[in-house]
Structure 1
Amino acid sequence: MSTAARRTDHRVSPVFLAIVAVMAVTGWAVWTGKLAANIGLAVFLFVVSGWIVSLCLHEYAHARTALHSGDLSVRAKGYLTLDPFKYTHALLSIVLPVIFVIMGGIGLPGGAVYIERGQIHGRWRHSLISAAGPLTNALFAAIVTAPFWLGALDGVPEPFRYALAFLALLQVSATILNFLPVPGLDGYGVIEPWLSLKARRQMEPFVPFGLLAVFALLWIPDVNRVFFDAVDAILRALGVSDWDTYWGERLFRFWEDGPSLPSIEGF
């Protein structure tokens, strides 16, 4: 492959840059209050664009790790350009996760990029490829919560603070869900290389249904409560309160009741 072709394979997609631009502009609008009359819409666009950016980075991490592990095919497939339309399962990787966020405020993971596993040798490499995606979500969560755990919230407008909190909730929930050892999710991909051939063959028919099964389980009240208790505990450890995530979600779901921000004087 020529040097020019390699540069093209690694060039960041204009589609991804456009999504980043939407995140930046709507983040600025939330921060400055320029769309005060439609603050919920601004928060919604900021969180959704930020969520899509994290999904692109998630899939990129899989592909980049696979490239360094021996699968050179990810270049030609366009995975290194961060273009969401290049993913093998664009519906699973981008569309469904966004719908799940809108429906239930759940950071449900998407489908992984297609990796030619036959080109990769060593169980540790296979496990690392699967782990790279959710580890990216964990890093994203650490970044967006940095103002909270660094105690640097002075001067941060409330709407922006709440929007960051809700985006962090999505990242933490995605990290936890991705690491579940369920066929079809990255957590299973981490342990799969260490299973016997017989066990892998027995699990194979369930791979297409793992994601939907997890989503269905989360609609069971007791399961949902246990899951979000774990998410809230991690967020509190990062300095994000239940108050922050509550108002972040209220603003995000602006179409329901158009909430106005509360006064927190003396809270």
Structure 2
Amino acid sequence: MTTGTTTAGRRISPVFVAIVAITAVSGWAVWAGFAEQTTFAVFLFVTAAWIVSLCLHEYAHARTALHSGDTTVSTKGYLTLNPFAYTHALLSIVLPVLFVIMGGIGLPGGAVFIERGRIRGRWRHSLISAAGPLTNVLFALVCTAPFWLDALDGVPVAFRYALGFLALLQVTAAILNSVPVPGLDGYGVIEPWLSHSLRRTVEPFAPFGLIAVFGLLWVPEVNAAFFDAIDAILRSLGVSEFETYCGLDAYRFWQTPNPVCAVNG
């Protein structure tokens, strides 16, 4: 019985398979210009791919925890890649998707629940927290590969814009989640190395860490500096600000498109 439960807890969820299928089909539609309204296909492709990356982000936390000693992640369903199995599905999936739709920013989601008492060694605790943002970094490298490999010949403009915008989301998520603020993965990386008294002092602020970081982004100077850094990173990967802007423009299919970006026709 235990073996069967463990096996089921590691079997990839049909929900995740369906999301990957939507990503593949909508990506093909963007590439082929299959839909008359290509921008709607861009919306589906980026949103589905973004959810896939969120699932992989949480999976990376759980998988690293499993190999570090917390075997409960299997019975909790974290290894199935099912977005509905997470402790905070609202924070992990729903809110990040809404923020992409409303603001075009990769908001990090809530982490899976790890039983830290089962894990020995500060390095293991730090690695568990770092695994999520590192997944976003890897996803960003994959999205930008055609750019930094100079392999854009033959890539349709709409698909190039979609990849640029998706890369923007991954980079913003990686950076925001790496901020050493309680409640975010960046703090989880350094927390094992802090004194017990300091950890106890900042622990009550963990539920508000993400809100505080997001609030700072409303400060014009902070917002400008943040996106300047994002643009600099993307430029180093071969993605221009124009491409990410046009990706966001195409993503928002419900708005009048900017003729400068022109992905249809």
* Fold shared per TM-score above 0.5: yes
Deviations 1:3-59 (A, max 9, x none): 433321111000001111111111000000011x31111111111111000000000
Separation in structure 2 between the aligned mates of residue 258 and residue 247 of structure 1, nearest angstrom: 9
Separation in structure 1 between the aligned mates of residue 40 and residue 248 of structure 2, nearest angstrom: 12
Structure 1 pair 262–85 and aligned structure 2 pair: CA distance change class (3 A): closer
Deviating 4+ runs (over 6 angstroms): none
| Structure 2 equivalent of residue 46 of structure 1 | 45
Separation in structure 2 between the aligned mates of residue 57 and residue 160 of structure 1, nearest angstrom: 22
Structure 1 pair 17–261 and aligned structure 2 pair: CA distance change class (3 A): farther
Residue 255 of structure 2 aligns to a residue whose secondary structure is helix
The Cα shift of 1:260 comes to 4.3
| Structure 2 equivalent of residue 166 of structure 1 | 165
Q: Which residue identity is paired with 2:30?
A: V
Residue 240 of structure 1 aligns to a residue whose secondary structure is coil
TM-score by length of 2: 0.96
| Structure 1 equivalent of residue 24 of structure 2 | 24
Residue 256 of structure 1 aligns to a residue whose secondary structure is coil
The reply on whether 1:241 has 2:252 as its aligned counterpart is: no
Deviations 1:46-91 (A, max 9, x none): 1111100000000000000000000000010000000000000101
| Structure 2 equivalent of residue 91 of structure 1 | 90
Separation in structure 2 between the aligned mates of residue 106 and residue 258 of structure 1, nearest angstrom: 19
Q: Which residue identity is paired with 1:9?
A: G
The reply on whether 1:56 has 2:74 as its aligned counterpart is: no
Separation in structure 2 between the aligned mates of residue 139 and residue 263 of structure 1, nearest angstrom: 29
Separation in structure 2 between the aligned mates of residue 252 and residue 6 of structure 1, nearest angstrom: 40
Q: Which residue identity is paired with 1:16?
A: F
Deviations 1:119-146 (A, max 9, x none): 0010000000000000000000000100
Q: Which moved more, 1:254-263 or 1:92-101?
A: 254-263
Separation in structure 1 between the aligned mates of residue 28 and residue 99 of structure 2, nearest angstrom: 25
Query: Which consecutive residues of structure 2, in runs of 5 or more, have no partner in the other structure?
Result: none
The Cα shift of 1:262 comes to 3.8
| Structure 2 equivalent of residue 151 of structure 1 | 150
Q: Which residue identity is paired with 1:233?
A: A
The Cα shift of 1:261 comes to 5.8
Separation in structure 2 between the aligned mates of residue 71 and residue 122 of structure 1, nearest angstrom: 13
The Cα shift of 1:263 comes to 6.7
Structure 1 pair 213–149 and aligned structure 2 pair: CA distance change class (3 A): same
Q: Which residue identity is paired with 1:30?
A: V
Q: Which moved more, 1:248-257 or 1:158-167?
A: 248-257
Query: Which consecutive residues of structure 1, in runs of 5 or more, have no partner in the other structure?
Result: none
Q: Which residue identity is paired with 1:17?
A: V
Preserved contact between residue 5 and residue 75 of structure 2 (Cα < 8 Å): no
TM-score by length of 1: 0.96
Separation in structure 2 between the aligned mates of residue 17 and residue 8 of structure 1, nearest angstrom: 15
Preserved contact between residue 61 and residue 132 of structure 2 (Cα < 8 Å): yes
- CA RMSD of superposed structures (Å): 1.3
Preserved contact between residue 13 and residue 80 of structure 2 (Cα < 8 Å): yes
Structure 1 pair 94–262 and aligned structure 2 pair: CA distance change class (3 A): closer
Separation in structure 2 between the aligned mates of residue 31 and residue 220 of structure 1, nearest angstrom: 38
Separation in structure 1 between the aligned mates of residue 260 and residue 6 of structure 2, nearest angstrom: 49
